[in-house]
Amino acid sequence: MTHVTEADLDDLEFDGLRTGQHRAAAVRLAELADRATGAEGVSRAKVLLRAGEQFQHAGDHAHAAEVYRKAIEDGGEVYGDPRVYLADALLKLDDKAGALDLLAQVRDSKPSDPEVYRSVAEVLYEYGDLLGAHTWATLGADLVLDMPAHERGDAADSLEGLLRLRFRARVDLGRPEDEYDDLLDA
């Protein structure tokens, strides 16, 4: 078993970005995940997510979906919600029903992390579901706005991203500005 650190993962991802060899980075990350202990390092599930992202960058959505499924099955500590990443890969593989089912599961789990809402909104916006993107961005913004101001912390950055996504979706839908836009302007 191997001890894997965030720095190790960052180095592999940076190398993939620098060289454009995302597939090679993805394969290496997947190999690391198979040997990762998670003890005092990064969880196997998190390494799998990062491998999946590299497969996505390489345009290999089938392998990305496979790796994301492994991350979900692993159940270890991750960032965001791996079902969102899998839904994105499935949409790129033209499995709309599978992707929408996963996003319904995410919605039903009522995430407490505004970044999950932002990720879903981004996926839906990219896919062309402007109304879905608008809805998810609004739900995420409401989640942050309902938090006491002193507890927002990192969620304040999420709020700006959510409001920007919501604005783009609404403009594309031809809707007028509203009270959320005032927050973005402030």
Is the same domain home to 119 and 72?
no
Q: How distant, in Å, are the alpha carbons of 120, 174, 181 from that of 49? A: 16, 36, 33
Domain-embedded: residue 87: no
Is the same domain home to 8 and 72?
yes
Question: How many independent structural domains does the chain possess?
Answer: 2
Domain-embedded: residue 172: yes
Interacting residues of 117 by C-beta distance below 8 A, sequence separation 6+: 111, 136, 137, 139, 140, 141, 143, 158, 162
Domain-embedded: residue 28: yes
Residue 101 tokens, joined: 């089912």
Domain-embedded: residue 185: no
| pLDDT, mean of each 10-residue run, the chain (186 residues) | 64 69 79 66 86 93 96 91 97 97 97 96 97 97 92 87 96 94 83
Is the same domain home to 23 and 73?
yes
Domain-embedded: residue 102: no
Residue 11 tokens, joined: 């180095």
pLDDT score for 12: 67
Domain-embedded: residue 186: no
Domain-embedded: residue 75: yes
Is the same domain home to 75 and 1?
yes
The residue segments making up the domain with residue 31 are 1-79
pLDDT score for 1: 47
